[in-house]
Structure 1
Amino acid sequence: MVHRLAVLLCVCALLVPGLAVAQPSDPLPGFDLQRLQFETSGLGSLVVGTGRTLDPGVVRVSVQAHYEHMPLNFSRDWAPGLNVVGLVESKFSGHVTAAVGVLPWLQLGAQLPYIFGQSGQPFLRTPAPNGQGLEEPWVSVRVAPLRMKHGAPLNLAVELAAALPVGQPEILGRDVYAVNPKLQLGVQSDGAQFGLELGALLRPRYDLSPLSGREQDVVGSELRVGATITARGMNSTATRPEVSLLLNLPVQGGQPSAEVLVGVRKHTVTGLDLYFLGGPGVGFAVDMPAVRLVAGASFATGEAD
């Protein structure tokens, strides 16, 4: 009897690890984790439009290196520390943006992002979406009926941006669809300019609460408000500081969040700018990075600012 009991215990000891390994995981739904959109024209802020367009025939191309700390974690409080763990703890990506002035009131733009690497820790039964690959590109069209350079009291533009249906959803690089309409307002003086951007990100609702056990962990459509104040470059080698505030207000059950981004841009030689931008993210949104850092360079064929 004792011998049979010992054999039974041995068999159970061999089977239990196998059963544990066989437990199914809870994969993340595929969506685009990147929430930042760059200002392709670079007129004013690097991330907030000021209602201006490039002059006809002027082309601006920029390249950005982009780091995000804790862009996806279920342990988020209002201001998460740097020592918490997350499904995506660090993310390195590159972005190529381009804009061209077609008419005095019409501008076209595009953004192409690529994830060079991201890493994180599994959460409960959810594996981390580690890896690299293409994120969804964006294209945009901007119409500016009011322009201060033509005598209007302010700059006013309407922009429609849309994501192209490419990218890798398994590494959080693609939505089913995403559209971003914006209304941009701005005023400028000899030494500074101010911008206000009102928009919305329209995309499907992704419910992450079954994975985290928190009903507020939802990623989806949101209202967006951006405000910026920037210095103006008065010569070919000017240094231009800027401060921008980005506020995100979910409309499908998520949590609000915001970013404060401080940057500096240096005109080196005619047409070439070097810049740095960074700052903290605050709020309870599961997809808001704790820290964002961007370094880049841009080249314009004509007067860009």
Structure 2
Amino acid sequence: MRLPSSAISAAMAATLLACAAASAQSTEQLPGFDLERLETNVGRGTLLVGNGELMAPGGLSVTLLGHYQRMPLVLSDGERDLRVVQDRATALLAASYGVLPWLELSAQVPFVLWQQGDDPGEAGLAQLAAQGLGTPVLQARLGLLSRRYRQPVDLSADLGVGLPVGTGTALAGDAGPRFHARLVVGTTLGWLQPSLEAGVLFRPSILLDTAEAAAKPGASSEVRLGAALATTGQGLRGELGLRATLAPQVSMELLGGVRFPLLVGLDAFVLGGPGVGGAPGTPRFRVLAGVAFRSEPPPKLSFIDQNADHELQLSLATPKPPPEDNRIRPVGTWELNSLTRDDTSGASGESGAPQEAPRPYQPGPQERLVLRGEIHFAQGSSELPGVVPLLDQAVLRLSEQTRGGTIIVEGHADSEGTDSSNMIMSLRRAQAVRRYLIDQGVPATRVRIRGFGSNWPVSARPATEQERQLNRRAEVLVLTEVPAPTTPAAPTTTQVPAP
């Protein structure tokens, strides 16, 4: 960033005036203010802009990233440039936690690791500190709309405060607290996730002495806009973000890059791009790299029958241990999960014989299998990716059936856990698929789920991770009724009398 003026000292004062710097000081020392203009997103969404979606209650997201900036602060008197900050490396530690379905809390702590530039003594300024603590930010994200509840978009409001504890001599902290408020909206369009952001940043109003006059009030607010576009999926994903600041001086940064998985719940990302504009803290280009960890609990099981749902939740919360001398399954899986109460095939007879273990569903003679497929999950997870082509195809096939149809979802787990934990995980995987189908417009009464735990593996003795992943699956069946055959009319016979 380059700032022209009649003299370097006057340029410095104009610079700080434009960016709402902290309290005025003499030209013997750099007035302390926070030079950093880029605020990263914590939680769901891209690195630059959120998508309006909140973390699930109990979910945790932790991000550790590093910045490299080139030429974020350059002064010019028309003849020569003074690179006050030529190279700057910073780090950011951020975390976000889902408290309630409509509330998410987050915190960010930045650090200046290293920076260098020209000797500011030529302009009568003190030497810049090479390291320091940045401005910590505390934020609350409030959910206003959510596609989880069949609303058209995800919409959230962010309210945050920046604490005045940063190192001013390193250009990393303001003299007073700052506040920001913004709205973020996002949705999913096929395999793309667009999002928009608009907000305002309030900084304390200041008084600065310039070469032309005594005290002049500094700017106290900035309008900040953002837009992002990201791809969905479980592998390599792309991100493109734009951040713009509208103040007495306008600046923009365009960053693009990729995000890819390392382990379950752990992603790495690399982004970079140019910056344009005259606002202090806008580098000629910036590079970001880091890792992000996210862990969220699976969605709560939900059924149409509220009484059955309540009984199931109580049984899962307080399971009864079976007798040591006769370990049998206490409840049949189909009876546990069925969305209707007319299925009594799993009930034991009057003789008190043990129930037969449930088997995967097989279409009857009056049913026709329209579509069948599998969805695989990560270990210990029931989370679906943003878009599942198999389920979208199932929705399309179901809508084409004139005689109506039913979707049966059967969840499975590997043999890594206990019988009870595997059963719960298989139920959660089936329930996650059911919620996806309902969100796509499938009536809830036409989706039936079952859970089998680890009783029906694809690979009975898995030796590799690929074979174990085949067992962590949900099978989807789309069924429709077979039209009854048309009975032809019986031919009319005429009896001829014997001669």
What TM-score bracket applies, with the shorter chain setting the length?
0.7 to 0.9
Using the alignment, how far apart are the partners of 1:221 and 1:128 within structure 2? 29
Tell me whether 1:162 sits opposite 2:161 in the alignment: yes
Q: Which residue of 2 is the match for residue 290 of structure 1?
A: 284
- Aligned-residue offset at 1:126: 2.5
- Aligned-residue offset at 1:210: 3.7
Using the alignment, how far apart are the partners of 1:242 and 1:76 within structure 2? 39
Q: Percent identity?
A: 36
Q: Which residue of 2 is the match for residue 58 of structure 1?
A: 59
Aligned in 2, Cα 1:76/1:25: closer, same or farther, shift over 3 Å? closer
Which protein is bigger by CA-based radius of gyration? 2
- Aligned-residue offset at 1:102: 1.0
SS state at 1:204 partner: coil
Tell me whether 1:33 sits opposite 2:30 in the alignment: no
CA contact (8 A) 1:87 1:127 kept: no
- Aligned-residue offset at 1:32: 0.8
Using the alignment, how far apart are the partners of 2:240 and 2:186 within structure 1? 15
Using the alignment, how far apart are the partners of 1:279 and 1:221 within structure 2? 26
Q: Which residue of 2 is the match for residue 222 of structure 1?
A: 222
Which ranges in structure 1 are unaligned for 5 or more consecutive residues? 1-23, 78-82, 213-217
Q: Which residue of 2 is the match for residue 144 of structure 1?
A: 143
Q: Which residue of 2 is the match for residue 279 of structure 1?
A: 273
SS state at 2:165 partner: coil
Using the alignment, how far apart are the partners of 1:262 and 1:128 within structure 2? 34
Which ranges in structure 2 are unaligned for 5 or more consecutive residues? 1-25, 213-217, 297-382, 387-499
Using the alignment, how far apart are the partners of 2:287 and 2:140 within structure 1? 27
SS state at 2:169 partner: helix
- Aligned-residue offset at 1:107: 0.5
Using the alignment, how far apart are the partners of 2:209 and 2:231 within structure 1? 43
**In the TM superposition, what whole-angstrom CA distance separates every residue of 1:25-46 from its partner, at most 9, and x where no partner exists?**
44222111111111110x2210
CA contact (8 A) 2:157 2:184 kept: yes
CA contact (8 A) 1:66 1:295 kept: yes
1:1-305 alignment to 2 at 5 Å? 25-41=27-43, 43-75=44-76, 85-121=82-118, 122=120, 124-175=123-174, 176-205=176-205, 210=210, 221-232=221-232, 234-235=233-234, 238-250=235-247, 254-302=248-296
Aligned in 2, Cα 1:93/1:207: closer, same or farther, shift over 3 Å? farther
CA contact (8 A) 1:95 1:111 kept: yes
Number of residue pairs matched by the alignment:
266
- Aligned-residue offset at 1:282: 0.4
CA contact (8 A) 1:207 1:219 kept: no
Using the alignment, how far apart are the partners of 1:291 and 1:141 within structure 2? 30
- Aligned-residue offset at 1:154: 0.7
SS state at 1:188 partner: coil
Aligned in 2, Cα 1:260/1:44: closer, same or farther, shift over 3 Å? same
CA contact (8 A) 2:251 2:279 kept: yes
CA contact (8 A) 1:158 1:184 kept: yes
CA contact (8 A) 2:35 2:280 kept: no
- Aligned-residue offset at 1:211: 8.0
Aligned in 2, Cα 1:75/1:53: closer, same or farther, shift over 3 Å? farther
CA contact (8 A) 1:26 1:211 kept: no
Using the alignment, how far apart are the partners of 1:264 and 1:76 within structure 2? 40
Amino acid at match of 1:248: T
CA contact (8 A) 1:165 1:174 kept: yes
Using the alignment, how far apart are the partners of 1:76 and 1:293 within structure 2? 29
- Aligned-residue offset at 1:73: 1.4
CA contact (8 A) 1:114 1:133 kept: yes
Stretch of structure 1 that moved more, 271-280 or 128-137: 128-137
CA contact (8 A) 1:95 1:113 kept: yes
Aligned in 2, Cα 1:211/1:297: closer, same or farther, shift over 3 Å? farther
Amino acid at match of 1:161: G
Aligned in 2, Cα 1:248/1:140: closer, same or farther, shift over 3 Å? same
